Amino acid sequence: MKVHHTLICFFFLSLQDGNAEVTKAQMLFYGVFGGNYTIKCFFSSSGTWKIFCKDDCKGQNILIETTDVRDETGRYSIEYYFDYDARYYVLSVSICKLTESDSGQYSCGLGGSLSSVSYIHLRIIVVDALLGGNDDPAQLKHFYKETGSSLTVGCSFTDSGGHKYFCRGECEGNNILLQTYDVRAQLGRYIIEYSSGVLYVSITQLTKSDSGRYRCYLSGSFRDFEVTVTDAAIPSASLPLTTTTELSERPTSTGVLLYGIICLLTFLILSSLAVLIICIKMTNTGLRTRGNSEGTNMEDVHYENCTPGSTREDSTYQSLHPAARDQD
């Protein structure tokens, strides 16, 4: 199921220098893998130049840069309007079909010119799923991943802050993979991040040995999930070798088949010629015999029978009654 999320950001132009560089965002938000995401940035002043970018707003990191009210580039789209209820100018930016690579720092900006654009900075984490308190414990969430990929799960809690754990199985002893009181911590391939009641746990560079049951834990509450890691699909680069082998065998089989067809056609042609020669000889012998007994030139009768305009009745009559034909 694809989920459409909306993120609302407020910004006052008088509080930030328009030429300020993009800095680390303090706001952290999540989007679900494969879903669509909408970011609404609110500004107190209008502007003609709109920009949306990932990381620093330079070069290919600029996703959309326009002076139009609406614009679209690939999976990214932008819309600018005035919200009469909120009394703010809104820059609404959407990302469709989120992927893992969409996780990162973003900035949306508005200004009278490119040099005077003021930015709102944020960070998006793309999660494989969000586990909530209303989930049925009997329906344990199961993730299927390939080796080398990453897994990020968001665990939603009603309590905020406190001691945060990421564990394999029960959170005790050596099962504790990572624990912290901070908003973010990382140990090797394991990552914990916390924002607005959601604890994000991640495993990078998955291996088959990572298969198993996991738990994210916050202030006495926890969410469990399972992971099964399988080998990645065979790269398509290995296919040309098989294809080349098959192609190298085809000419041999095709040549044998062609040789057989030629031999068969030769045999049929020679057989047909032999039968035709025999029939011609038999016909000539029969004609000579009938001509001697009846005194009629059968070759003439045969010629007249093939003449255009003649009928079968005429031909038969002439061949049977030559005397009557002479009298007529």
Instruction: Dump pLDDT digits (tens) for 99-142.
Output: 999 999 999 999 988 888 999 998 999 999 999 876 666 678 99
- CA-to-CA distance for 160 and 240, rounded, in angstroms? 55
Instruction: Dump pLDDT digits (tens) for 110-120.
Output: 998 888 899 99
The pairing of strands 198-203 and 212-218 is unpaired
The DSSP secondary-structure symbol of 24 reads -
Which one of 200-209, 277-286, 294-303 scores highest in mean pLDDT? 200-209
Q: What is the 3-state secondary structure (H, E, C) of 167-226?
A: EECCCCHHHEEEEECCCEEEECCEEEEEECCEEEEEECCCCHHHCEEEEEEECCEEEEEE
Strand partners, 126: 31
Sheet with 118-127: strands ordered across: 28-32, 118-127, 104-111, 49-54, 62-66
Reference 202, options 134, 163, 149; nearest CA is: 149
> 40 or 304, which is more confident?
40
Please report which confidence band the pLDDT of residue 220 belongs to, taking 50, 70 and 90 as the band edges: confident
Please report which confidence band the pLDDT of residue 5 belongs to, taking 50, 70 and 90 as the band edges: low
> 213 or 235, which is more confident?
213
Phi, psi of 64 (to 5 degrees): -140, 135
Quick one: fold of 129-230? Immunoglobulin-like (2.60.40)
pLDDT of residue 64: 95
Return the minimum-mean-pLDDT range out of 168-182, 258-272, 301-315: 301-315
Architecture of domain 4-126: Sandwich (2.60)
